[in-house]
Amino acid sequence: MKLQLPNEVTNTKTVLLLIVAAYIFSLAMRTIWVMEVQAIPSFYWNHALMINTNDGYFFAEGARDILNGSHQANDLSPINEPLSLLTAWLSKIIPVSFETLILTMPAFLGSLIVIPLVLIGRALNQTTMGFIAALIGSVAYSYYNRTMSGYYDTDMLNIVFPVFEIYSLILALTHQRNRYLIPITVSIALYQWWYPQAYSLDSALFGIIIGYALFSDRKNIYFYKIALFILIGILSLPIWIKLLLALTIFALFHFQPKQNQKQFWALFAGVALLYFVTGGIDPIWGQLKGYLFRETLSNEDGALHFYNVAQTVREAGHIPFTVFAERISGHTITFVLACIGYLLAIIAYRPLIITLPLVALGFIAMSAGLRFTIYAVAPMALGFAYLLLLITQTIEKRWLQIVTLFVFTGAALYPNYLHIKEYMTPTVFTSQEVSMLDKLGKIASREDYVISWWDYGYPIRYYSDVKTLVDGGKHSGDVNYPASYILTQPQQNAAFMARLSVEYTERGWENNKSAIIAEMLKESKADSVDDMMVNLQLNPTLLPKPTRDVYLYLPLRMMDILPTVTLFSHLDLKNPDNKEEQPFFYATQQIQDTGKTIELGNGISILKEKSTLKMGNQEVPIKGFYQVGYNKENTLEVNEQHFSSEGLNVIYMASYGRFVIVDDFYFNSAYIQMFVFDHYDPKLFEPVLSDPMTKIYKLKV
């Protein structure tokens, strides 16, 4: 049933005041993180708080290079990305530092979602519903997490744009006038420009409008006009061409109010043909394969099988229902009520059916990963607001109705507020780590490579202005394999692979070949990477001549993900069914000395008298015990004891309060030897920068 509310808000000034109030509320919630962490000195660089998302440094690099007016060939700097372009433009007109700008942009732009939500309510003649939805939707878990201060990423507008699309479609469906067609194409074209991955969502909007027309009023040609202008916005063409096409067709409709049916359908067929010629469903199928049909191994060059990075990304995995519900609405009860309200709202206001693609995309999060929950936030906020108004509309006294709305809206907001208070995510790097990268940038040239894991690729490029092998966008199995191999193999193999991977990467840019491992094996006439390394050990002159310097970046924070790093190279590339046993690695800071034992958590303890490890019901000999720590002069000292010819190695990193238990594979790896022990082969590497958080070495081969 439609709501029957007395004195419902309709005048423009009041609507604007509600939008401003909702925007200020959203912005205020996003200042909580800033207020809480501003007293932490390690979160600052250049007198400003740093951002808290790795991917943000990708766009920051592009904006920096746009402002500087230069970048290196093949350095992957995103100088043409919309967010980089917008940031560079804003940096020229807003009188704040670049660091402050990228810190605050998510809060200011992400809060814009309140505008279309309030306007959707107004379009349905239920502005109060839109206002309540704006308050809840702007701070719901998943939406807040990806638009909070410091979360500098495209997410700051990734939901704002589609909700504006929904608003433009509701306006068109409600009023059915040609003047509402242009905003449809404009909003969709802008969204496609900002976030090309929106292709699938916008295609779904086209499909649902066609379904709406067929099941609602199939003879109403206006519905097909809406579909046509959606299709124009989706086309994989430059935005100016799409807008020009939309304006041309709009002019045709305007000056010929009574179109010939055959002419209209011929026009529709022509645009539909353009849709398939410029991409069709190929991008949609590619995304479905990436998220719904993930495989552990990816066959990227037709012969070699690499580990698929999607298996290790938390936000792309299955999530429990409670987490799913809380991320969308803040609380399971709120979510259930929102679902009920959403269904009732669709029945009462049929145009809301067009929000179904957003809801569907949000709900696939149960199988495709928590990152998708953000899409369902706005529709569910509308659903909860509708149900709340439906229940309270029977209250006769206006003041009591307002108080009730205030109380229950506050109750729905409270879990989200608690989440915001507790969600004190750290900056990507600390100032100490950034200081090392800044120093490296003064040593290395812009053509040099820094090798580390892909998590750190973007920050390394931003602060050191160098090239990297892998980053948050370039991390397919073929490029992750050499990075993983370099970090987890002994130093000689690591050094050889570092030189090979850099030189073959540069050759790949020139020859348009990306399968660098396959190229290495082909040119070295080796059947496997192990065979190739044996050949290089026998004849190091087979290594390609160095064309640039290469640095190895080893941070303490990599310790926590080393087993994951290992997965990408500890496998048989040609026989994926040949499962290799994963080496043993365990690190903990949960330490309790009981006198006779040292308890390390997860059923693992050190039996002091026996010099053995107890792991569950099993006892394993300790091969060697190593105590590593920094003295007052900040010099690393290593004390070691040997107990057995077999077993596991126990490393006590005293300065970090951390125990690490590893087998010989990890113990001999470049990362453990060069970061933990400062042991390096002077023929292969030389130390460049070193402190307790970061070790940086220069390759000498």
CA distances from 154 to 102, 209, 426 (A): 12, 27, 19
Range 431-567: architecture per CATH: 3-Layer(aba) Sandwich (3.40)
Cα–Cα dist 89/94, whole Å: 9
pLDDT at 285: 58
pLDDT for the residue 614: 93
Q: What is the mean pLDDT of residues 16-27?
A: 97
Tell me if 416 sits within 8 A of 136, measured CB to CB: yes
Per-residue confidence band for 40, with pLDDT thresholds at 50, 70 and 90: very high
Confidence of residue 312 (pLDDT cuts 50, 70, 90): low
Lowest mean pLDDT among 5-14, 649-658, 681-690: 5-14
Q: Parallel, antiparallel, or unpaired for β 648-653 and 618-630?
A: parallel
545, two tokens:
């001549």
Q: How much is the average pLDDT of 586-595? A: 93
48-57, 288-297, 497-506: range with lowest mean pLDDT: 288-297
The H-assigned helical ranges of 30-123 are: 32-37, 56-68, 82-93, 98-110, 114-123
pLDDT cut 90: percent of the chain above it? 71
Q: Model confidence over 79-129: pLDDT tens digits?
A: 999 999 999 999 999 999 999 999 999 999 999 999 999 999 999 999 999
How, if at all, do strands 597-599 and 604-607 pair?
antiparallel
Q: What is the pLDDT of residues 190-205, one digit of tens each?
A: 999 999 888 888 989 9
The whole-number pLDDT of residue 122 equals: 94
So what's the pLDDT on residue 307? 82
- Residue 683: CB atoms within 10 Å: 12
The amino acid at 489: Q
* pLDDT band, residue 580 (cuts 50/70/90): confident
Q: Does the pLDDT at position 130 exceed 70?
A: yes
Determine contact, residues 645/623, Cβ cutoff 8 Å: yes
Q: Mind listing the pLDDT tens digit for each residue in 333-354?
A: 999 999 999 999 999 999 999 9
Highest average pLDDT, of 19-23, 260-264, 608-612, comes from 19-23
Show me where the domains of the chain are located: 12-422, 431-567, 585-699
Query: Quick one: average pLDDT of 691-695?
Result: 95
Global confidence as pTM: 0.90
Query: Which of 7-21, 287-301, 431-445, 604-618 tops mean pLDDT?
Result: 431-445
pLDDT given at position 397: 87
Element containing residue 422 per DSSP (H, E) = helix 398-422
